[in-house]
Structure 1
Amino acid sequence: MAKLFLYFYVLVGLSSLFLTCRATVYTVGGTGGWDISTDLGSWVAGKTFNAGDTLSFQYSSLHSVNQVNKDGFDNCSATNALLSSRDGNTSIPLSSPGQKYFICGTLSHCLGGMKLKVNVNGNQTTSPAGSPLLPPEKAPSVQLPSTKNNGPLPTVPSTGFSHTARNSLSAACFSILGAILWNELV
């Protein structure tokens, strides 16, 4: 019987550990996307970004996204960009804590407010199940057809969505617990 309780407590402990692993994908600008007409300051307000989350930039062919340092952000300069993309749909994982800076490479767009500063917390120490943290240069990117207008592309909700292993992990844990109990009782 003591063996049964030991299995149960180990299983509960492991479940608690795995259930905290999650990441959120944020579509920058919400339904407005990464665009000069989007109020990025309002969009970012109140959001909490953690290491392991991902920023999804969706934009037209008139724009680009550049990850820059603070100086590049303050001066709207993409000259020494850490990452640069023009594909219309760029996903950038937030793999480490600290301030992250993004600008549109078109100077007039950046000066007009098309820039984003994000504070990334280091709360999340692990990546979501099955999802290794990648440096920005290795970030996955999905290609979408280019649009000829300046309208935003369809997006997911701006509040982000969580990827969790909760349902499959819970099912696996209860299956293991059931098998252990069955073996102990039979």
Structure 2
Amino acid sequence: MARSAILVVAAMAALAVQLAAAADHPVGGTGSWDTSNGAGFYNKWASKTVFKLGDTLTFKYPAGHDVTEVGKPEYDACSGAKPIKTFSDGDTTVKLPTAGKRYFICSVPGHCAAGMKLEVTVVAAAATKPGGRHQRSVAPTPAPAPEPSSTETSTPAPAPKASDAASIMLGGNKQAVLVGLAAGVAMAALAM
């Protein structure tokens, strides 16, 4: 029984970390999906944004537009003839569950050519910088203490707590709360 409780706890902790790390990306920075920004605007925004597994894209648009996911040939041709999926609700959230390229256009004739096209590259969580540069996530290491001179006395700084390092590694309080919640559930399950 204790072994199954540990497995449940580990799965819950992994889920909490994944949920905490997921981000929503309003398309173009504001979510506004329209022709007013001109050709290239959405891809310029996407090139400066890191899209990771589990993230979402949010498109907000008025009637008369849509969000159509297409393959690369249709994207290049601004053609909605072979859609993967089409949305027309005006407030679309698209999940990014797999790594790779995704292509979106507005399939209304002329809208894609006027700038309503977006190519995103979804990366694994370890890749954190746009432009293909990968960075490993690690806890920060404290700076070395300066050497005391013969006339100075030095008091060592307190070591950071493990909970501080977990919060820093995960990027903030929201994630630390989720990890703490998962740890609390783990402790409760082990006490059973």
> What range is the shorter-chain TM-score in?
0.5 to 0.7
Name the CA distance, whole Å, in 2 between partners of 1:179 and 1:81: 47
Does 2:68 align with 1:58?
no
1:106 shift after superposition: 1.4
Q: Which runs of 5+ in 2 are unaligned?
A: 1-5, 127-171
Alpha-carbon spacing, 1:173–1:80, altered in 2? closer, same or farther (3 Å): same
Alpha-carbon spacing, 1:74–1:177, altered in 2? closer, same or farther (3 Å): same
1:175 shift after superposition: 7.5
Structure 2 matches for 1:1-186, cutoff 5 A? Answer: 17=14, 20-21=17-18, 22-31=21-30, 33-38=32-37, 39-123=41-125, 166-173=176-183
1:121 shift after superposition: 1.1
| Bigger Rg, which one | 2
CA RMSD of aligned residues (A): 3.1
1:46 shift after superposition: 1.4
Which stretch shows the higher mean deviation, 114-123 or 39-48?
Answer: 39-48
Which has the larger strand fraction? Answer: 1
Which stretch shows the higher mean deviation, 60-69 or 44-53?
Answer: 44-53
Name the CA distance, whole Å, in 1 between partners of 2:91 and 2:52: 21
Alpha-carbon spacing, 1:58–1:32, altered in 2? closer, same or farther (3 Å): closer
Alpha-carbon spacing, 1:169–1:16, altered in 2? closer, same or farther (3 Å): closer
Assess if the C-alpha contact under 8 Å between 2:17 and 2:175 holds in 1.
no
Assess if the C-alpha contact under 8 Å between 1:19 and 1:166 holds in 2.
no
Q: Which runs of 5+ in 1 are unaligned?
A: 1-9, 125-161
Assess if the C-alpha contact under 8 Å between 2:13 and 2:182 holds in 1.
no
Alpha-carbon spacing, 1:101–1:167, altered in 2? closer, same or farther (3 Å): same
Q: Partner letter of residue 167 of structure 1? A: V
SS of 2:183's equivalent in the other structure is helix
What do the CA deviations read for 1:128-159 (whole angstroms, capped 9, x no partner)? xxxxxxxxxxxxxxxxxxxxxxxxxxxxxxxx
Alpha-carbon spacing, 1:20–1:84, altered in 2? closer, same or farther (3 Å): same
Alpha-carbon spacing, 1:16–1:47, altered in 2? closer, same or farther (3 Å): same
SS of 1:55's equivalent in the other structure is strand
TM-score by length of 2: 0.58
Q: Partner letter of residue 34 of structure 1? A: W
TM-score by length of 1: 0.60
The answer to which structure, 1 or 2, has the higher relative contact order (CA under 8 A, 6+ apart) is 1
Assess if the C-alpha contact under 8 Å between 2:60 and 2:90 holds in 1.
yes
Q: How many residues align?
A: 133
Q: Partner letter of residue 26 of structure 1? A: H
1:122 shift after superposition: 3.0
Runs of 4+ with >3 A deviation? 13-20, 174-180
Q: Partner letter of residue 169 of structure 1? A: V
Name the CA distance, whole Å, in 1 between partners of 2:102 and 2:56: 12
